[in-house]
Structures are given as C-alpha cells and as structure tokens.
C-alpha cells in the first residue's frame, strides 16, 4: 500500500518539529558567520560580474573600437556557460561544500579581470567571460551562496536568506561609484585590475577561513539548536538533519512542483532581463536627466536592503507562496510605471519597485526550493532551476533589442511581458509543496 503525505508546507512547521527535540543555543550560531561571509563574497562578485560591467563599455569602445554587439555576446557567453557548468557545480557543492570551490572560482574570476587590464583582443573579451561562466560566477554568485546558507537553517531559513540578499544591493551601493571613480581618474584598464585584486583580497581568504559545508560537519544542528536533555548529541544530529525530507535531485525533478517553481522564476527573469539593460536608455529617451536616474538607481538599493532584512517577518505574516506572488505583482507595477512614465517621480518609484522585487526574488526562490525539497541536496536541485532561469535570461535581452529595432519602441515587448509576469504570479500563488510517497511498513 502506498500512502501520500504532504511535505512540510511552511518553514514554521519544519521549525516546530525541530524544536520538539532541541532547545535554542544562547551563543552566536556559526550559521550567521556563514551568512556574513557569503554577503562579503556575493557583494564582491556582484561588483565584478554585475551591472558595473556597463561602465567599461564606452571607454573600451573608444580606445579599442569594439562594437556594442561584442559586449552583448560576452555577457551572453558568460550566462550560457554558467548555465551548463552550474549543473555540475551544484553537485560538487553538496558533496564538498563551498570552501575550496569558491576559492577556486574567485581566483579564476580575479585573474580574468586582471588580464582585461593588460590583454585586449576582442576574442578574449568573450573568452574571459566564458571562463567566469565556467566557474559559475554570475551576479551575486547565486549558484554558491544561497544553497550553502540554506543548509544551515530550517526555522530561520527565510530570515537568513533574506539577510543574505543584502549582498547584491550592498555591492552596487559601494562598487558602482567606486568603479566609476577609478575609471574616470585612472582609466578602464586600472579599473579591471583593481576589481581583480579586490576579488583576491576578499573572496579567497573569506572562503578558506570561514566557509564550511553544513552544521553537522562541525557538530552543530540547524538554526543553532542544541540537543534536549532527553537526547544524546549524536541522536539529535541525526533527527535534526531529517526533520524535513531530503529530496535528491533525481526525485525533485520528477515532481510537478519542481517544474512549476522553475517556470515561475524562469518567466520572472525572462520579463526582467528584457528590461534590465534598457531601462536607463528608455528613461533618458523620455527626457529624464541622467544624474536623476543615477540617484534614483542608487537610493533604490536602500529599499532593497530594507526588504532583505525584514523578509523573515514578511514570510511569517504572509506565507512563502503568497509573499512570492505579491513580490511578482510589485514587478508588474514597476513595468507599468516604466512603460507609461510621464514624470521623474514615476521613474523613481519604478526604480524602487524594481530593486525591491528583483532582490527579494532571489531570496524567496532559495527559501522556497529548500522548504519544498530540503537542504541536503540544495546545491544540485537549485542548479537545475538556476540553469533553466539563465537560459531564459540569455534570450531576453536579444529579443527585446530585436523588437525595439523592428518597431522603434521597447513598449512592444514590455507590455506583453506584463502578461508574462501575471502568469508567473498566478503559478506562484497556486504552488504547493510536493507530496511525499511513503511506503507503509507492515
């Protein structure tokens, strides 16, 4: 006889079960050290592989004669190679942890950046970015950071992953103006070298000194709990690890719920990446002063940080699925404001809603997958979904550029993308945790 039992639907129920066998620890839990280390690494990676890349385009074109298309292909090459390599890195992350993997990835990324300051053939721009992609260094290093942090928390997972998402806006707040200043005062070659050296200084030592695979490896339990008086430490480690069912990647990808979640976030990145690199151009063409756009984009990161540090409370109030659906609707509002923009105030509100929704999306995605499928194989499971997301992301910008060239306006692609986001929100609102098939024992 086969019985169907629903997996734990919320992080709260998982935490309640764990709390029955453990009591909270009073000292600082090492999982929070992992969160702080990953914020430093994610912020640094965001600086070197994120939007700061756009600051190099004009000066490199002026000095080297590179076409705009070449920079677009370089970014696409990194996304596509990261999508493929991430499938293998996820499994390595579950088996060995992020400590050595991130040190290697940080070294490769740093050496590529430094080489850009001295070696300038067009083919190397694409080749160097492919090298970054091969070690899955893209944005705030989501292939490494989110699955690693998820392994250290059950009850406080939403809070931890929310705080982790500070990495991206913090990296942009400090890295964007710093990189712009270096390029302006010392040239783009120096800018690449400084970013590479900074990566060596931050990513490698932080990875090697602080990162560990999971709490059980150092005799701890998730969330910093300790065994109750009725249990031995060894028994508690086993029971604490099994509080939520630990799906394997093979099991997870056979469920409808996995592909529903993956579709939700793939549709989200398809829509947002169609707008990502064209928002500023759109605002300028509609008469907004570039300095006001820069101020709006920078100050909006503070809103993203506020959303990050309060995410745990938001999840407790609204629930994971409802909060995630509402977050997508915030992006819908951003799209409507951007397309119909008539005043600078509308642009600023669009910037704030973009930063809030886009940053929250990553944290909520990591929390949902770990809540649905457990933490033991989080790297391998998330890598499949992230790969799917990145394939959609790689197609979005070229599609938007093609539509703009053909029609003379981005509105022809952004209005339909509002429909894509609404579909994403509907699928998210109707998502439920997977059912676990358990064989009954005689």
- What confidence tier does 4 reach under pLDDT thresholds 50, 70, 90? very low
Rounded distance between C-alpha atoms, residue 144 and residue 85, angstroms: 12
Q: Is 23 helix (H, G, I), strand (E, B) or coil?
A: strand
Rounded distance between C-alpha atoms, residue 106 and residue 98, angstroms: 11
Question: What residues pair up with 22 in beta bridges, in sequence order?
Answer: 227
Mean of the pLDDT values across residues 38-57? 86
Q: Would you state the pLDDT for residue 109?
A: 94
Q: Would you state the pLDDT for residue 15?
A: 42
Mean of the pLDDT values across residues 388-403? 84
CA nearest to 283, candidates 442, 145, 429, 410: 410
Q: Would you state the pLDDT for residue 229?
A: 57
Domain 30-219 has CATH 3.30.70.360: no
- What confidence tier does 90 reach under pLDDT thresholds 50, 70, 90? confident
Q: What is the number of helices (H) and of strands (E) in the chain?
A: 20, 4
Q: Which of 156-160, 354-358, 400-404 has the lowest mean pLDDT?
A: 400-404
pLDDT of residue 13 exceeding 90: no
- What confidence tier does 20 reach under pLDDT thresholds 50, 70, 90? very low
Q: Would you state the pLDDT for residue 228?
A: 58
pLDDT digits over 252-264, tens only? 999 999 999 999 9
Contacts of 442 (CB under 8 A, 6+ apart): none
Q: Would you state the pLDDT for residue 96?
A: 92
CA nearest to 225, candidates 26, 73, 363: 26
Domain coordinates of the chain in residue numbers? 30-219, 248-439
pLDDT of residue 133 exceeding 50: yes
Contacts of 430 (CB under 8 A, 6+ apart): none
Q: Would you state the pLDDT for residue 441?
A: 43
Rounded distance between C-alpha atoms, residue 24 and residue 303, angstroms: 31
Mean of the pLDDT values across residues 339-355? 89
Highest mean pLDDT, choosing among 31-40, 151-160, 372-381, 392-401:
31-40
Mean of the pLDDT values across residues 89-109? 92
Within 10 Å of residue 234's Cβ, how many Cβ atoms?
Answer: 10
Mean of the pLDDT values across residues 85-93? 88
More confident residue, 94 or 298: 94
pLDDT of residue 21 exceeding 50: no
pLDDT of residue 182 exceeding 60: yes
Percent of the chain at pLDDT > 70 equals: 88
When the candidates are 1.20.1250.20, 1.10.260.40, 3.40.50.300, 3.40.50.2300, the CATH number that belongs to 248-439 is 1.20.1250.20
pLDDT of residue 14 exceeding 70: no
Mean of the pLDDT values across residues 280-286? 80
Q: How far is the CA of 397 from the CAs of 26, 76, 215, 293, 431, in angstroms?
A: 49, 9, 40, 21, 28
pTM, 2 dp: 0.78
Percent of the chain at pLDDT > 90 equals: 39
Q: Which of 95-99, 146-150, 204-208, 292-296 has the lowest mean pLDDT?
A: 292-296
Q: Which of 21-35, 206-220, 221-235 has the lowest mean pLDDT?
A: 221-235
- What confidence tier does 190 reach under pLDDT thresholds 50, 70, 90? very high
Q: Is 220 helix (H, G, I), strand (E, B) or coil?
A: coil
Contacts of 80 (CB under 8 A, 6+ apart): 133, 390, 391, 394
More confident residue, 259 or 218: 259
């Amino acid at each position: 006889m086969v019985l169907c039992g629903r997996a734990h639907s919320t992080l709260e129920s998982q935490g309640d079960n764990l709390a029955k066998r453990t009591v909270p620890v009073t000292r600082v839990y090492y999982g929070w050290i992992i969160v702080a280390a990953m914020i430093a690494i994610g912020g640094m990676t965001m600086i070197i592989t994120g939007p700061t890349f756009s600051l190099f385009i004009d000066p490199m074109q002026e000095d080297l004669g590179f076409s705009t298309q070449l920079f677009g292909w370089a970014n696409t090459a990194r996304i596509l190679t990261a999508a493929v390599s991430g499938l293998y890195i996820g499994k390595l992350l579950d088996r060995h942890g992020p400590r050595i993997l991130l040190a290697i990835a940080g070294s490769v990324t740093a050496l590529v950046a430094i080489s850009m300051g001295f070696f300038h053939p067009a083919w190397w721009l694409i080749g160097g970015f492919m090298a970054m992609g091969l070690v899955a260094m893209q944005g705030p290093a989501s292939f490494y950071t989110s699955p690693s942090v998820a392994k250290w928390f059950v009850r406080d997972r939403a809070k931890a992953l929310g705080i982790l998402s500070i990495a991206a806006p913090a990296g942009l707040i400090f890295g964007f103006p710093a990189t712009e200043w270096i390029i302006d005062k010392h040239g783009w070659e120096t800018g690449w070298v400084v970013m590479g050296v900074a990566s060596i200084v931050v990513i490698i030592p932080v990875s090697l000194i602080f990162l560990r695979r999971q709490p059980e490896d150092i005799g701890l339990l998730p969330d910093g709990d300790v065994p109750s008086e009725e249990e031995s430490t060894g028994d508690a480690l086993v029971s604490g690890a099994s509080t939520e069912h630990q799906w394997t990647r093979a099991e997870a990808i056979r469920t409808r719920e996995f592909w529903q979640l993956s579709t939700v976030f793939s549709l989200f990145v398809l829509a947002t990446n169609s707008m990502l690199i064209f928002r500023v151009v759109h605002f300028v063409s509609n008469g907004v002063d570039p300095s006001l756009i820069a101020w709006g984009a920078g100050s909006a990161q503070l809103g993203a940080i506020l959303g990050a540090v309060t995410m745990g409370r938001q999840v407790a109030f609204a629930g994971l699925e409802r909060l995630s659906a509402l977050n997508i609707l915030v992006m819908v509002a951003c799209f409507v404001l951007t397309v119909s923009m008539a005043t600078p105030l509308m642009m600023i509100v669009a910037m704030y809603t973009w930063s809030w929704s886009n940053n929250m999306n990553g944290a909520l995605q990591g929390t949902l997958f770990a809540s649905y499928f457990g933490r033991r194989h989080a790297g391998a499971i998330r890598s499949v979904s992230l790969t799917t997301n990145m394939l959609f992301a790689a197609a979005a910008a070229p599609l938007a550029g093609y539509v703009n060239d053909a029609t003379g306006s981005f509105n022809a692609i952004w209005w339909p993308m509002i429909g894509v986001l609404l579909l994403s929100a509907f699928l998210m609102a109707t998502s439920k945790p997977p059912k676990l098939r358990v064989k009954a024992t005689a």
